Structure 1
C-alpha cells in the first residue's frame, strides 16, 4: 500500500482486520504527515447527512462512513486508542436561497427518518451573538460532527503496528507488473533501489498517485487545491460564548470548538494550485476575519498557529477515485475535501474488491 494519510492508514488497518498482511509505504512515516499533505490540512468534519444529494455513490459512501466511524472509534477505544471528536453539526444559511435549500433538505431528511431539523427563531436568538452574521437560519444535524485527524492517524498506526503492520519509510520510484510462479504480481521500486513484491497494490498517495500510474497507461489526473487552517485562543471572557450544538459551517468556513477555549478555523478559499505555495496573505486574512464578518469574540482571539495542505481533486472525474484499474491494482485517491469522512467507506470498498476477486480465484 502506498500513501500514509488518513485514507492509507485506515485502509491498512481495515485490511489487516480482514486477515491480510499489509505493508504501508510512504516517505513521511517517521514524522507527522508533511505540511502539504491533505490529511494535515483537514479539520475532520463529518458532513454526511447534510450532503445535498439523497442517492448515488456519494450519498452511499457518506452514510457508510458515518456508521463505520462510530464503530471503529469504539473498537479502537476498547484497544486503548482514543480518537477525540465532537458530535453535532450546525450549518448556517447566509442567503435566502441557501435558507430555502436547507429547508428542502431538512424536509427530505425527516421523510427518510433522519433527525435533521431547522433551528427555531428563539434557538437562534439564544446562540447569538456567538454566531457569525449574516445568519438567516440554521440546519442542525446531530449525527454529523467532527473527529480529530491526527489522533485518528495515530490510532490506526499504533493498533496496526501492534497487529503486524509493516512500515517502509521511503519514496516509491516506480511500480511495474511482475510475474512470480506464473502469477501476476506488482513490483514496487523504492528510492533505495530495493523493491517489494505484492499480489495486491493499493495506491492512496493523493497528488503523488498520477505519476505512479501514468507509466502504466492509467491517466488519473488530480489537481492540487490549497486548504488553510488556523488554531485560535479565545479571550478568557469568551470561553463560554461558543454554546453551539456541535461544529459550525458558515459560508464555506468551518469552525470547530476545541478544549481550553480554543477554536479551529478551516476553509478552501483559494483556487487550484499548480505549485505547493503557501497561502497568500489575503486568503489567510479572509479566513481569520470570516471574510470581514468576524464577531467581536473572534476579533478578540489570538492566533496560536497556521497551517495548510494541498487537497487532491480529480480532474474530469467525480471525487473520490475508487477503481480497480487492473487485476491486483487498486486506486483510492482524490478524496478532495472529504478524505477524513470517506476514509472508512473507501477502506470497506477496497476490502470488498479484494475479497470478491480472491473468491473468483
Structure 2
C-alpha cells in the first residue's frame, strides 16, 4: 500500500520521531502529535545499544532484528548529526558484562554460550582481565564477557536531534494529546485531540509506546497487547575523572542486574528496575537503594559522585518482548509500538520499515517476525 496523502504520527518518542523523519525523506506529509515528549521511554532510558549483551535464549528473531538495527546505527547517527549539527554522543567502544560472585558467573557463562550459538561477537574474560578493561571495577569481580561492538547513545540528545530533523524536513510537531482515532466504516480518517479539534489523515501511525492502550477508538482487532513496564533509573555526575568509568558495564550482583553507562561528559546513568506497576512513574526508596547498592558494589568509586536525577520511565512491553510493526486490519492504521527494552536500539530499522511500508517499498526482512498479526496467529503484511 503506497501512501500519497497526510500522515499523522501519534507519539513523539524516539520511534515516532525517527519514523516521521524517514517518512518525510520519502516525500510524505507528516504531523507528529505528542503532549509531552519528556514522558517518552527514551527520555528516561540510558540509551544502551546492546544486541549482544542483552540477548536472551528464545529471542532469536529479536536478536536478528537488533543486530540488523545496530549495523545501521553509525550511518543513522552520522546522517542525523550532519542534518542537524547536533552531537548525540554515540559510543561504540563495547560493553562489558561482569559477575560479582560465583552464582553470577554461571549466568555470564550461559550468556556466552548463547553468543557462541548465535555467532555473536564476544570474548570471555577472567576477573583480572575485566579490571584491565575497566580499572574501577571491584577487585572481587569474578569474570565477564566483552562485547566489542555494543555501545550506547544519549537518547535525550537523539530526541532533540530528531525533533530538529523533523522540523528541518518540513514536518510539524504538535504538543497535543490524541484523544481517539476517527474511523469511518472500515478505515481511519484521522484523530481527535484533547482540545476537541479533528485532524484528518490518510494514514495514522500509532507510536504511543506504553500509552498505546490508552488511545481510544482503536478497533479491538487492531489493539496490540502492549503494557507498561516501569523502570527506575538514576543519573550521577562524576566530578573527578578518576571516578568516571570508561566503558558501559552491565553487571550481575547476587542474582540481580544493573547497568552503568558513562557519557562523554561527566554523567553516569545507572539502571534499571523492571516492575509491573501499571502506569505508575513513582520513584521509590526501594528502587533507588537497589540500583545504588548494586552499582556501588561493582564500582565503589561511584559513591563519590553526585546523585543528580531519579526518574521512572515506562517501557512498552509485549507478550514476546518484541515490537509490533506493520499495517493493522483497519485501512489506514499502522502500528509501530511495543519495543520494550530496545526502543533506542531499534529506532533506525523501525523507522526504515515504517517509511518503506508507507511508500510501498520492501521493508527490512528482519521486521517480518514482528508484524501485528502474530498475536492472533495470522500474518499481517
Task: Please tell me whether the aligned partners of residues 229 and 277 of structure 2 are also in contact (alpha carbons under 8 angstroms).
Answer: yes
Aligned to 2:242: 240
Question: CA shift at 1:213, angstroms?
Answer: 5.6
**2:51 pairs with 1:45:** no
User: Aligned partners of 2:321, 2:266: CA distance in 1, in Å?
Assistant: 38
TM-score (norm 1): 0.85
What 5-or-longer segments of structure 2 have no aligned partner? Answer: 1-8, 363-381
Question: CA shift at 1:311, angstroms?
Answer: 1.6
Aligned to 1:221: 225
Aligned to 1:290: 294
Aligned to 2:194: 191
Cα deviation digits, residues 91-134 of structure 1 (max 9, x gap)? 1134232132133234346xx4x542123554234357612576
Task: Please tell me whether the aligned partners of residues 231 and 306 of structure 1 are also in contact (alpha carbons under 8 angstroms).
Answer: yes
Task: Please tell me whether the aligned partners of residues 187 and 195 of structure 1 are also in contact (alpha carbons under 8 angstroms).
Answer: yes
Q: 5 Å matches for 1:71-150?
A: 71-79=75-83, 80-87=85-92, 88-94=94-100, 95-108=104-117, 112=119, 115-120=121-126, 122-127=128-133, 130-132=136-138, 135-150=141-156
Cα deviation digits, residues 224-253 of structure 1 (max 9, x gap)? 2221222223353xx235554x31111221
User: Aligned partners of 1:331, 1:247: CA distance in 2, in Å?
Assistant: 32
Equivalent of residue 64 in structure 1, options 43, 64, 68: 68
User: Aligned partners of 1:253, 1:297: CA distance in 2, in Å?
Assistant: 16
Equivalent of residue 155 in structure 1, options 143, 161, 167: 161
Equivalent of residue 327 in structure 2, options 324, 334, 349: 324
User: Aligned partners of 1:128, 1:158: CA distance in 2, in Å?
Assistant: 36
**Alpha carbons of structure 1 residues 57 and 24: separation in structure 2 relative to 1, 3 Å:** same
Question: CA shift at 1:67, angstroms?
Answer: 1.8
User: Aligned partners of 2:87, 2:133: CA distance in 1, in Å?
Assistant: 30
Helix, strand or coil for the counterpart of 2:307? strand
**2:29 pairs with 1:24:** no
Helix, strand or coil for the counterpart of 2:97? strand
Question: CA shift at 1:281, angstroms?
Answer: 0.4
Helix, strand or coil for the counterpart of 1:289? helix
User: Aligned partners of 1:98, 1:77: CA distance in 2, in Å?
Assistant: 38
**Alpha carbons of structure 1 residues 121 and 229: separation in structure 2 relative to 1, 3 Å:** closer
Task: Please tell me whether the aligned partners of residues 205 and 333 of structure 1 are also in contact (alpha carbons under 8 angstroms).
Answer: yes
**Alpha carbons of structure 1 residues 353 and 91: separation in structure 2 relative to 1, 3 Å:** same
**Alpha carbons of structure 1 residues 234 and 286: separation in structure 2 relative to 1, 3 Å:** same
**2:267 pairs with 1:258:** no
**Alpha carbons of structure 1 residues 233 and 250: separation in structure 2 relative to 1, 3 Å:** same
Aligned to 1:10: 18
**Alpha carbons of structure 1 residues 242 and 140: separation in structure 2 relative to 1, 3 Å:** farther
Report how many aligned residue pairs link the two structures.
Answer: 342
User: Aligned partners of 2:137, 2:178: CA distance in 1, in Å?
Assistant: 47
Task: Please tell me whether the aligned partners of residues 81 and 159 of structure 1 are also in contact (alpha carbons under 8 angstroms).
Answer: no
**Alpha carbons of structure 1 residues 59 and 107: separation in structure 2 relative to 1, 3 Å:** closer
Question: CA shift at 1:161, angstroms?
Answer: 0.5
Question: CA shift at 1:142, angstroms?
Answer: 1.8
Aligned to 2:176: 170
User: Aligned partners of 2:197, 2:50: CA distance in 1, in Å?
Assistant: 42
**Alpha carbons of structure 1 residues 275 and 54: separation in structure 2 relative to 1, 3 Å:** closer
Cα deviation digits, residues 299-338 of structure 1 (max 9, x gap)? 2222122222122212x35421223212221111121111
**2:299 pairs with 1:303:** no
**2:215 pairs with 1:212:** yes
More divergent stretch after superposition (147-156 vs 44-53): 44-53
**Alpha carbons of structure 1 residues 210 and 128: separation in structure 2 relative to 1, 3 Å:** closer
